[in-house]
Structure 1
Amino acid sequence: MGKKATYWSIDPALKKIFARIGKPPSGAFVPDPFQLEALAAIRRSDCLVIAPTGAGKTWIAEQAIHEVLEKGGRSWYASPLKALTNAKWVEFGDRFAPEKVGILTGDTKENAEAPIIVGTTEILRNQLYDAMEKGENLPFDLVIIDEAHYLGDRQRGVVWEEILIYLPTRINILLLSATIGNGEEIAGWLSSLRGKECVVIKEEKRPVPLFPLFLHPAGKILPLLEEKKLHREVVRLLEVKKRPFRTPPPRFGKIIEVLEKYNLLPAIFFLKSRAECDAALLSCHPGEEISRKEDFLRDLEQFLADYPFLRTHKQLAYLKYARVASHHGGQLPLWKFLVEKMMKLGHLRAIFATSTVAAGVNYPARTIVLFNSDLYNGSDFSPLNSTEFHQMMGRAGRRGRDKIGFLLAVPGRFMDLKHLRKLFFARPENIESQLRSDFSMVLNLLLSQRPENIKEMLTHSFYAYQFGANEKRRKRIGQKLWNDWERHLAFLRAEGFVDDEDRLTESGIWASKLRLDHPLLIAECLKQDAFPRE
C-alpha cells in the first residue's frame, strides 16, 4: 500500500453489506436437493456433479463411499494433487476410521489394501494398467474423480481420459467439479463409451454469497463493482495510473489489521510464488491480544507434543504469536497439515498461499485477497481463466460459518482489474480433450492390449467424440489418432522396445514400468550405462 495512507475507511455503501457479516443460525444439517439427486444417481449409474466450491460435493462422495462400505465393497478417491490427497486421507480417516483408509501417492503408501483408497490420479491409472496387464479385475466398486475438469489440462488431461476409457463398466464413476461448462457433452461421451447412463447434476447457486471489494491506495475499502461495471472510483484510479501499475510493495500486516477492523478475517492471501508467501510473514507483527488465544495455544501445543521436531521450524513464531502462516508445496507435509488444521479450527487470522490451496485443499476463509490477475502455468505467467478464478473465489465464505464471503482486490503491477471484472461474471469454460499419443501411453497400452484393440479405443476417445460431428467423422478422427500412434510404435520397433509381432520386448516392459513422462530418455540412458554408478 502507498505511504500516503494515513487512515482507513470504508465506502458508506458497504455499511449495509458489512452488517450481513456473521454466522448463520445453527441447526441440523439438511442435504440440498442436488446432493440427494446425485446420491440416488450414483447408486445406479455414473454421475457428473458440477457445483460451486463449498456447495457440498464432498458430502456426496462420503455418502456414496459409506454405502459401498456397508455392502463390503471398496472405493477409490482420486485427486490431482498430493496436498489434496493428504488432506482427504486425514479427513476420511476421521470420518470412517483410520484403519479403513489407505493412501497412495508418489511419496506415500500406507494401508494399500484398505476398503477406501485415497490417491493421485496417476496412481489410479497405473493400478488400472497393472490390472489390465495381469488380466485381473480392478478390485473396486466405486471410483470418485475429484477436480474432474483436469480432463482438459494440457499436461495431464490424457491421464483422466485413459482412466475413463479403461475403467470397467461394472465400476460406477462419480466425477466432481466446480468448473465444467460442457458437462452434458462429457456425459454423452461416457454414456456412449460405457453403455450406461451418466447423469449430470448441476447446482449453480453458491452456498455463501460473494461480494467483491477494492482496496484503494488512499486507504479506503470500496465496492469493486457497481452493478456489473467497475466502481467509478476504481475507474478514476485506472485513468490516473495507467498500467503498469506502480505501487510500493504491499504491507501485508497492515492489510490484515484493516481486515480485522471490519471483521473480514480469516483471510487467504493468494501470492505468486513460495518465496513471496514466506516473505509476507515478515510484515506481520504480534500483538498482545493476538497471542493470548488460549484455545489456539492449547491445540497448537498438543500438535507440537506429537511432532516435537516442528518446534524448531523457522516460521513457528509467526504462527504462534501473529496467528499467520505460509502454505505452499515447498513446506514440510506435517507443517502444512498443522497450518491446515489450525485454519480449519478457526485459529488463524490469515495464510499466505500459492494457487495449490485453490485446487481443493479444504479450508475456506471469510475473505480472499488477490494481488495478481495472472497465474504461473508451469512455464510462464498467463492471465487467470474462469476455472482458476472461480476455484480461488470458492474459498471465500465458509458454509455454516459465514453469511457472506468477500474478494478483496489490491491494485498493483500484475493486477488487471478489467480482466478481473470479466472473470467475476464468466461462465465455466468448456473442457477439451487433451488426448495425444506419447511413448509412455503406447508402452503401457501394449502391456495389456493388442494394437487392433487400441485402434478401437482411439476411435471412441473423448477427442474423437468431441471433434467428430457424427460417427463417420469420429472414425476419421480416430484414424488420424491411430496414424500418430503407429508412428510412435514404429519408432519403438526400430529402437528395440517392441518386437515384430508388436509385443513389448524385455526393454519395453521395464521402460513401461518407469511411469515417467519421458520413459525412453531414461531407458536409453540405462541401456547405454550413461548414469554414474557412484
Structure 2
Amino acid sequence: MHMSPGADPQLKAVFTGIGVPRNRPFTPDRFQTEAVAVMAESDCLVTAPTGAGKTWIAVETIRRTFERGGRSWYASPLKALTNSKLIEFSEIFGPDNVGILTGDRKESPDAPIIVGTTEILRNQLYDAMHQGISLNTDLVVLDEAHFLGDEERGVVWEETMIYLPPRIPLLMLSATVGNAGAIADWLTTIRGRPCRVVAETQRPVPLYPMVLHPSGTLLPLKAKGGRGARTLHKRVAGLVAGKRKPEPHRRRGLPPFGDILRVLKAFDLLPAIFFLKSRSDCDAALSLCHGAVNLSDAKKARIFERVKTLTGSSPHLVRHRQRIHLEQAGVGAHHSGHLPGWKLVVESLMSEGLLTAVFATSTVAAGVNFPARTMVFFNSDRFNGTEFIPLDATQLHQMTGRAGRRGMDKIGFALAVPGRYMDLQLVARLLSSRPGKVISRIRINFSLVLNLLLSHTPAQVEELLKRSFATWLLVSKAADSRRKSRMAGIHEVLWEDFVRHLDFLKETGFVGDDDRLTADGLWASQLRVDQPLLVAECLRQGLLPDGDAARMAGVFACLVNERETDDRMEGRLVPNRLKKTVVRIQKKLSGFARHMKSRGFDVRQFYLRPAAMTHAWASGYPWETIAREYGMAEGNLAMLMMRTADNLRHTANLIDVFPDAAATAREAIGLIMKTPVVEETDEGDAGL
C-alpha cells in the first residue's frame, strides 16, 4: 500500500516560503558582534541555536589575539570536529599558523593557533600546574561548552574551567541552555573576572514542525494560533486520540522509507536526515530507497567522481558495501558502527548537496556539520545506554537544529512520523519549551587525585573542590544565611571521596604519609587513562609483554574495554601465548583488584575477545576478516583500536622510567593505528 503525497491546505502558504535566500554580502548578527566586543574586556558564554554562526565569533576573537602576536587554544569535544576546524582555520590564518593536538595527531604544537580536544587542554593545565608555570596561551575557546553537563565527559570541561588561570580570557560557545546565567555567575565567582552571557534564541532559519499521516498527507503539528490543550492541529489530535497508534505500513519491519522520500520530493522538502533508533535500521533503510527519487545521470556522475576521490587512498572504503547506495540512490547511513573514513565520505557528500537523504543515529545531532532541509524522526524517546527514556527539550532542539541550512534554505522542517514510540503531544510541548539546565558532573577519580597532588596539598585540593559548579549551584539555592552556611559544606561529599582515593593511594605506595606523591606516584600521574592504577601495577610488577608489540596491544585492549563481552570463541581465534599472558596478568593483579574492591572501587573484568581482535589486527590479519570472524561492527572495532592507542601513548611517554615497556607501547601504536582505523595522513605515531 503506497502513500499518496498530499498536504493540508494550511501548509500551502508555508510551502511557498521554500527556497534559497538571496545571496547577500555577509553581515554579522547583533549577538556575534556583541560577543566579540565582550571578549575585549571579560569572559563570554555564547548560547545560540545550532547553525547560528558561533564559529564566526571564535574566528574574530582568535584573529584579534593573533594580530597582537598572541596565542590561542580552540578546544572541542570531538576529533572529527577538531580535524574540520584545522582545515577551516588553516584556510583563514594560513597552515603554518595552525597546529593540532588530539592524541592521534600532534602537528605544529608551537603554532600560534592550536586546535585540539578538551582532554588534551586539561592535561596541559595539569602539566602547567605541576611545573609551576602558566599555560602558554593568551585565549582559550571551549566549543560545545554545554558538554559541561555531559554525564561521561563533563568532568573534563569543569576541571578545565576551574584550573584555567584568570589571566587567560575564556570564550565558551554553547547550544542554548536553560541556566547560562548560573554558569556565568559561577565562573565570575571562581575566576575573579566577569563572565557575560550573550544569548541568541532565534534560529537562523525558521523551523516548521509537521506530522506525516499514514496516508501520505503532510499535516501541521500545531493548530494555527492554537494554545494549551488545543495546540495540536485537529487532524493530528484525532490521530493522538485514536485507540490504536497510527503508523505507516511497515516493510521488512521498517517504515516505508521510499514512500516517505516520494512525499518529501513532491513538496520540495529534500534533502532530509532520518533519525532512527538503531544502527541496523539505518543500514537496512538504504535498500528501501532505490527508485524513490530518480537521480539524473549528471548527478550520479558527480557522486561517482566525489566518492572515487574521497575513497581513492583506502582499499577498505573503495569496496565499501554501501557505496552502491550512494552512487545509485543518493542515500547513505551514518552511525558509530561505520569506519571514521566512511562517515567522512557521507558527511562530505551531504554537505556538498549531493545526497537525497541520510539515515542516522543521534551522533549526527552532536557536533557534526550535517544540515538538511527536513529532519524526519520516528521516536520521541532515546536509549540512554540502559533503557529508553523520553527526549528532553535540549535533545530535541539539537536534532531539529539540523533542519534548515543557513544561506541555503528560507525555512526548515521537522517531520514527526506517528507510531508506537512517538508521543506527538510531548513533541509539541518540547518544541516550545526552553532547553534544560546544565548540571555539574564533577567526580573524583585516581587520575584527578594524582595530578592534583603534583602541585597541590590536600588542603589546597579541598579549596579547589569548593569551587566546583556542583557546590556553587547548591550554595546559590540556599534561601537564607543559616541554610547557606549549612549548604556550603556540600563540597564535603567530594572531599570525602577525595580522601577515600587518597587513602588508597597511600596504602598502595603511590602517595607517602606526607601527602606527597612517591616516585611511583610521580610517573603514575602521567597515566591519564581510565584505569591508571591497574596499568601502573602492571608496570610495577613487570607484567606487560615487553618486546612483543602485538601482545602489548592486546593486553591494553583488555584495559580499555568497557563492555560485557561474550568470550566464547573458537580456539584458533585466541593465540595461546596471548591467552597465557592475559590469564597471568589477571592472576598477578587479583590481589590488587581485591584490595580495590574492598575499598569500594570498581574494577573492570578482563575479556579475551577484545584482546584477541586487537592482537590479530596488530599481527597483520586483514581488517574485514577480523570484523567478520570476531563479530564486531567496523566502527566499534576502529574505536577499540583508537582507545587502545590512546592508552598505549601514556605508557609510551614513560620512556625514562620503563624504557622497554615504553618502546614496545610505541611500536604497538604503529601496528594498530593504520588504515582504515585512521586516514593515511594521520598514520603512524604522530600523536606521541
Same fold (TM over 0.5): yes
Residue 221 (structure 1) aligns with: 218
Deviation at 1:247, TM superposition (A): 5.6
Equivalent in 118, 123, 132 of residue 121 of structure 1: 118
Deviation at 1:301, TM superposition (A): 4.2
Residue 352 (structure 1) aligns with: 359
Moved more, 76-85 or 294-303: 294-303
Residue 514 (structure 1) aligns with: 527
Residue 259 (structure 1) aligns with: 264
Residue 232 (str. 1) matches residue 245 (str. 2): no
What's the secondary structure of 1:225's corresponding residue?
A: coil
Alignment of 1:245-324 (within 5 A): 248=250, 249-285=254-290, 289-293=295-299, 295-305=302-312, 310-324=317-331
Instruction: Find the aligned partners of 1:180 and 1:525 in 2 and give their Cα distance.
Output: 43
Instruction: Find the aligned partners of 2:258 and 2:107 in 1 and give their Cα distance.
Output: 40
Moved more, 448-457 or 247-256: 247-256
Relative to its length, the structure with more strand (as a share) is 1
Q: Is the 8 A contact 2:295 2:330 kept in 1?
A: no
Q: Is the 8 A contact 1:21 1:403 kept in 2?
A: yes
Moved more, 226-235 or 20-29: 226-235
Residue 395 (structure 1) aligns with: 402
What's the secondary structure of 1:369's corresponding residue?
A: strand
Counterpart residue identity of residue 428, structure 1: P
Instruction: Find the aligned partners of 2:41 and 2:350 in 1 and give their Cα distance.
Output: 37
What's the secondary structure of 1:230's corresponding residue?
A: coil
Residue 33 (str. 1) matches residue 67 (str. 2): no
Moved more, 416-425 or 309-318: 309-318
Q: Is the 8 A contact 2:216 2:263 kept in 1?
A: no
Moved more, 299-308 or 17-26: 299-308
Counterpart residue identity of residue 442, structure 1: V
Alignment of 1:290-439 (within 5 A): 290-293=296-299, 295-305=302-312, 310-439=317-446
Deviation at 1:300, TM superposition (A): 4.1
Instruction: Find the aligned partners of 2:380 and 2:38 in 1 and give their Cα distance.
Output: 38
In structure 2, the CA distance between the partners of 1:73 and 1:214, relative to structure 1 (3 Å rule), is same
Residue 196 (structure 1) aligns with: 193
Task: State the TM-score, normalizing by the size of structure 1.
Answer: 0.93
Instruction: Find the aligned partners of 1:96 and 1:327 in 2 and give their Cα distance.
Output: 31
1:257-294 CA-to-partner distances (Å, cap 9, x unmatched) read 22111100111111222222222212121565344315
Q: Is the 8 A contact 2:349 2:355 kept in 1?
A: yes
Q: Runs of at least 4 residues of structure 1 off by over 6 A?
A: none
In structure 2, the CA distance between the partners of 1:411 and 1:526, relative to structure 1 (3 Å rule), is farther
In structure 2, the CA distance between the partners of 1:110 and 1:413, relative to structure 1 (3 Å rule), is farther
Equivalent in 510, 519, 532 of residue 497 of structure 1: 510
What's the secondary structure of 2:454's corresponding residue?
A: helix
Counterpart residue identity of residue 219, structure 1: G
What's the secondary structure of 1:213's corresponding residue?
A: strand
In structure 2, the CA distance between the partners of 1:277 and 1:186, relative to structure 1 (3 Å rule), is same
In structure 2, the CA distance between the partners of 1:386 and 1:145, relative to structure 1 (3 Å rule), is same
Instruction: Find the aligned partners of 2:347 and 2:217 in 1 and give their Cα distance.
Output: 31
1:13-56 CA-to-partner distances (Å, cap 9, x unmatched) read 11111110001111100011110010011122110001111111
1:46-70 CA-to-partner distances (Å, cap 9, x unmatched) read 1000111111111101111122222
Deviation at 1:457, TM superposition (A): 0.9
In structure 2, the CA distance between the partners of 1:78 and 1:380, relative to structure 1 (3 Å rule), is farther
Moved more, 29-38 or 504-513: 504-513
Residue 95 (structure 1) aligns with: 92
Instruction: Find the aligned partners of 1:40 and 1:319 in 2 and give their Cα distance.
Output: 45
Instruction: Find the aligned partners of 2:495 and 2:398 in 1 and give their Cα distance.
Output: 36
Counterpart residue identity of residue 255, structure 1: I
Counterpart residue identity of residue 531, structure 2: H
Instruction: Find the aligned partners of 2:114 and 2:335 in 1 and give their Cα distance.
Output: 24
Deviation at 1:6, TM superposition (A): 4.4
Deviation at 1:295, TM superposition (A): 4.6
Counterpart residue identity of residue 39, structure 1: V
Residue 184 (structure 2) aligns with: 187
Residue 163 (structure 1) aligns with: 160
The size of the alignment, in residue pairs, is 531
Q: CA RMSD in A?
A: 2.3
Task: State the TM-score, normalizing by the size of structure 2.
Answer: 0.73
Equivalent in 4, 15, 18 of residue 15 of structure 2: 18
Instruction: Find the aligned partners of 1:114 and 1:252 in 2 and give their Cα distance.
Output: 48
Residue 60 (structure 2) aligns with: 63
Deviation at 1:329, TM superposition (A): 2.5
Q: Is the 8 A contact 2:374 2:413 kept in 1?
A: yes
Counterpart residue identity of residue 505, structure 2: L
Equivalent in 479, 485, 491 of residue 478 of structure 1: 491
Q: Is the 8 A contact 2:100 2:107 kept in 1?
A: yes
What's the secondary structure of 1:501's corresponding residue?
A: coil
Residue 173 (str. 1) matches residue 170 (str. 2): yes
In structure 2, the CA distance between the partners of 1:301 and 1:488, relative to structure 1 (3 Å rule), is closer
Instruction: Find the aligned partners of 2:339 and 2:532 in 1 and give their Cα distance.
Output: 29
**Looking at both structures, which has the greater relative contact order when contacts are Cα pairs under 8 Å and sequence separation is at least 6?**
1
1:236-269 CA-to-partner distances (Å, cap 9, x unmatched) read 2233344597962212222222211110011111
Moved more, 235-244 or 267-276: 235-244
What's the secondary structure of 2:218's corresponding residue?
A: strand
Q: Is the 8 A contact 2:466 2:491 kept in 1?
A: yes
What's the secondary structure of 1:292's corresponding residue?
A: helix
**Unpaired runs of at least 5, structure 1:** none
Deviation at 1:370, TM superposition (A): 0.7
Instruction: Find the aligned partners of 1:165 and 1:281 in 2 and give their Cα distance.
Output: 46
Moved more, 243-252 or 124-133: 243-252
Q: Is the 8 A contact 1:267 1:351 kept in 2?
A: yes
Residue 150 (structure 1) aligns with: 147
Instruction: Find the aligned partners of 2:343 and 2:69 in 1 and give their Cα distance.
Output: 34
Q: Is the 8 A contact 1:247 1:413 kept in 2?
A: no
Instruction: Find the aligned partners of 1:182 and 1:330 in 2 and give their Cα distance.
Output: 34
Percent identity over the alignment is 55
